[in-house]
Amino acid sequence: MKSFGFILLSLLSFSNLIEANLSFDYYTKTCPEFEQTLVQIVTEKQIAAPTTAAGTLRLFFHDCMVDGCDASILVASTPRKTSERDADINRSLPGDAFDLITRIKTAVELKCPNVVSCSDILVGATRSLVTMVGGPRINVKFGRKDSLVSVMDRVEGKLARPNMTMDHIVSIFESAGLNVQEMVALVGAHTIGFSHCKEFASRIFNNSASPEGMNPKYAAELRKLCANYTTDEEMSAFNDVFTPGKFDNMYYKNLKHGYGLLESDQAIAFDSRTGPLVDLYAANETAFFEAFAKAMEKVSEQKMKTEKLGDVRRRCDQYNDYKG
């Protein structure tokens, strides 16, 4: 009887292990049109709204850096509970990224209901968009489940802010299981997209001269661009002033010449721990692409939710048991 109990326990443990495993062909049998549907909608959305790639990549990070890639960032707040989505640092996340995930989820649910998780959709969409705008291929696996909770208070301290010290930023990435080399590679995502003026206003307006490390002419142009940022919160500047829509290594080249937009960006170029990596990626795009893809794959697979800790949401912005 004892041996039977041991065998049963072993089988259950093995079953849980299978549930926890990600694979490239996870949906091959259960939703064979998933990949094709995702790529088609991603392509249409990126053509219609070219900032979608950067927005979705940012959404990916804001989801995965807080308790893993579990689509908790997509859950809308209710009168009784405020979700991650409404945390201060997440309020500027772009609507186009949320819209993309909703479109894909809607289309996939029509083909194979209650099969594909929102977390897998976000990871897959991010992968496709990075490649679409010139970046490396990221080999992502599928099989994640969506979180059963999304709490605003869990966000603070998990995401880096532009005015943090390099020590603080390094500690945030280390707490997420990422080393300095992986951090510098991932920050290269700033090669696409933009930042709102309020995120770097203190850097350009609190200095009578040019901010430390910033090209004087660049600083002057930013002051002109952001002159009315206090009355127009949507005022923004490209993170990479030269090739803002192309995923390349120009971000690192910019840092070496004083064109780093955020204070934290410029600090990476001069810190003894990160500076040599900035030099490497500025000189060798292939090295950057390889490091970025590998780090993204690592981020996408950490703290994965299994069947016991998650499920497949029917709507990405609501839990399945939401009563309204």
What are 254-286's pLDDT values in tens digits?
999 999 999 898 889 999 999 999 999 999 999
pLDDT band at 46 (very low <50, low <70, confident <90, very high): very high
Give me the pLDDT at residue 212, please: 76
Give me the pLDDT at residue 323, please: 58
In a domain, 221, yes or no: yes
Check whether 2 has a pLDDT greater than 80.
Answer: no
- Are the CB atoms for 100 and 125 separated by under 8 Å? yes
- The SS3 call for residue 316 is coil
| 20-29, 95-104, 312-321: range with highest mean pLDDT | 95-104
We report the CATH number of the domain holding residue 58 as 1.10.520.10
Check whether 126 has a pLDDT greater than 70.
Answer: yes
Domain that holds residue 174: 166-300
Note whether 172 and 294 are same-domain residues.
yes
Give the list of residues 6+ apart from residue 54 with CB closer than 8 angstroms, or none: 94, 192, 193, 194
Check whether 134 has a pLDDT greater than 70.
Answer: yes
Q: What is the pLDDT of residues 197-243, one digit of tens each?
A: 999 998 898 866 667 789 999 999 999 999 999 898 889 999 999 99
Q: How many domains does the chain have?
A: 2
Give me the pLDDT at residue 175, please: 94
Length of the chain (residues):
324
Give me the pLDDT at residue 129, please: 98
Q: Looking up tokens 């309204």, which residue turns up?
A: 324
Binding residues for Ca(2+): 63, 66, 68, 70, 72, 84, 191, 240, 243, 248
Note whether 116 and 37 are same-domain residues.
yes
We report the CATH number of the domain holding residue 223 as 1.10.420.10
- Decide the pairing of beta strands 146-147 and 194-196: unpaired
Note whether 108 and 139 are same-domain residues.
yes
Give the list of residues 6+ apart from residue 210 with CB closer than 8 angstroms, or none: 216, 219, 220
Give me the pLDDT at residue 21, please: 81
pLDDT band at 163 (very low <50, low <70, confident <90, very high): confident
Give just the sign of the alpha carbon dihedral 107, 112, 113, 115. negative
Give me the pLDDT at residue 266, please: 87
Q: Cβ–Cβ contacts within 10 Å for residue 265, how many? A: 22
Give me the pLDDT at residue 5, please: 47
Check whether 41 has a pLDDT greater than 60.
Answer: yes
Note whether 82 and 204 are same-domain residues.
no
Q: Looking up tokens 């880096």, which residue turns up?
A: 160
In a domain, 136, yes or no: yes
Note whether 99 and 178 are same-domain residues.
no
What is the pTM assigned to this prediction?
0.90
In a domain, 320, yes or no: no
In a domain, 9, yes or no: no
Check whether 22 has a pLDDT greater than 60.
Answer: yes
Q: Looking up tokens 């995502």, which residue turns up?
A: 189
Binding residues: 63, 66, 68, 70, 72, 84, 190-191, 240, 243, 248
Give me the pLDDT at residue 209, please: 67
Check whether 68 has a pLDDT greater than 80.
Answer: yes
Binding residues for heme b: 190
In a domain, 322, yes or no: no
Q: What is the pLDDT of residues 84-110, one digit of tens each?
A: 999 999 988 999 999 999 999 999 999
Q: What mean pLDDT do residues 138-155 have? A: 93
In a domain, 180, yes or no: yes
Give the list of residues 6+ apart from residue 37 with CB closer than 8 angstroms, or none: 104, 107, 108, 111
Check whether 33 has a pLDDT greater than 70.
Answer: yes
Token digits for 64?
A: 């995965």
Q: Could you give the CA distance from residue 87 to residue 106 in angstroms, rounded to a whole number? A: 26
- Could you list the active site residues? 62
- Are the CB atoms for 193 and 236 separated by under 8 Å? no
Percent of the chain past pLDDT 90, that is, above it, reads 75
Give me the pLDDT at residue 262, please: 92
**Which of 324, 323, 245, 315 minimizes the C-alpha distance to 102?**
315
**Which of 58, 208, 172 minimizes the C-alpha distance to 122?**
58
